[in-house]
Amino acid sequence: MLIAMRSNPFKERQESQFAHLLASNYGLATRNQLRKIGFTDSRIQRLVASGRLERFLPGVLRSTSAPITWEMQALAGCLRNPGNVWLSHRSAAAHHGFTGCPKDRLEFLATRRMGSARGYLVHFVGEMPICDVEVIRGIPVTAPARTLLDLAAVVDEETLEIALDDALCTHKVRLPRLRWRLDQLGVRGKPGTAALRRLLEVRGDGAMVPTTILETKLVRLLRSGRLPVALAQHRFREDGNLVARVDFVYPEQRVVIEVDGTRWHAGRRARVKDAERDNFLNLKGWTVLRFSWFDLVERPEYVLDQIRCALGIEPLFVSN
């Protein structure tokens, strides 16, 4: 004779909460989180003994069925001391999706001292203002403005500028807020402060900024060649309709500069549109210059000379 097994609603609810906790935490849970859903220490120990959970970091447990990802490791670092640790510097830049910042390290800001953990770099600060932190995709992280300030201290100026332009053009941060945080935190002598101030000085309020790495490289090249600042992301209109948007323009000299990266210019349709735009501008009396990644990286003198000639400035180099 079959005997029906009686369900246990309380245990089923706990299991549901347990599954939800792991799903929202990239497969992680702290002992305190488990206690909050009613798990006793002995039950937690049984989960570890049975192999469902394993120790990942001090105070942090991992579901053995969850794959180890960069996001899991990032959250684990924050869960070591919840409310006192945030993903920061290069790791925060990567989590925000700033261009040129890969997910290749784990870096944190903490307001309390913690034991070391292999592969985790922790910077200690006395306090963390609430305006400098947020939670993105479940991971506590420094806000974009604070991230750029911290990033300035640990990367070269070119990497910083690429990340800055990406953050600005994707509206992850606004210039006024970034300047405000720089004034508050960028004390004289702090690493990276001077570099960030220089980059902000050439970006006026409301000015368009480069949208790709290649465009930022051209801006840096123009500065190094002591050429006038070009207007970025300029729009041409005819009868009130947008007919062209170009990377850079010198309005007085009627010179347009386009930098061709594979992302936007590789396909046949893209090349056809580029040609149509060039023809429109040529017929309107504009000089259109196009440069590739190879030109900017391998032939910077050639690029500068072509721009100088278009602007009516004597070239400095003999182009091959």
Number of other residues whose CB lies within 10 A of the CB of residue 178? 22
Task: Choose one of 209, 234, 249: the last residue of a domain.
Answer: 209
Check if the beta carbon of residue 101 is closer than 8 Å to that of residue 90.
yes
Distance CA 39, CA 44 (A): 7
Statement to judge: residues 169 and 234 lie in one domain: no
Residues 225 and 180 in one domain: no
For residue 211, is pLDDT > 90? no
pTM over 0.75: no
* Residue 238 shares a structural domain with residue 170: no
From 160, 182, 209, give the residue that closes a domain. Answer: 209
Domain end (from 209, 230, 251): 209
Would the pLDDT of 136 be above 90? yes
pLDDT at res. 318: 53
- Whether residue 232 lies inside any domain: the answer is yes
Answer whether residue 5 is part of any domain: no
Does residue 80 sit in the same domain as residue 153?
yes
Residue 159: inside a domain, yes or no? Answer: yes
Do 119 and 267 fall into the same domain? Answer: no
Looking at the fold, whether 130 and 171 belong to one and the same domain comes out as yes
Instruction: Give the 3-state secondary structure of residue 131.
Output: helix
At residue 264, does pLDDT exceed 50? no
Domain that holds residue 274: 211-320
Number of domains in the chain: 2
C-beta of residue 234 within 8 angstroms of C-beta of residue 286: no
The CATH number of residue 259's host domain is 3.40.960.10
User: How much is the average pLDDT of 51-59?
Assistant: 94
> What pLDDT sits at residue 19?
94
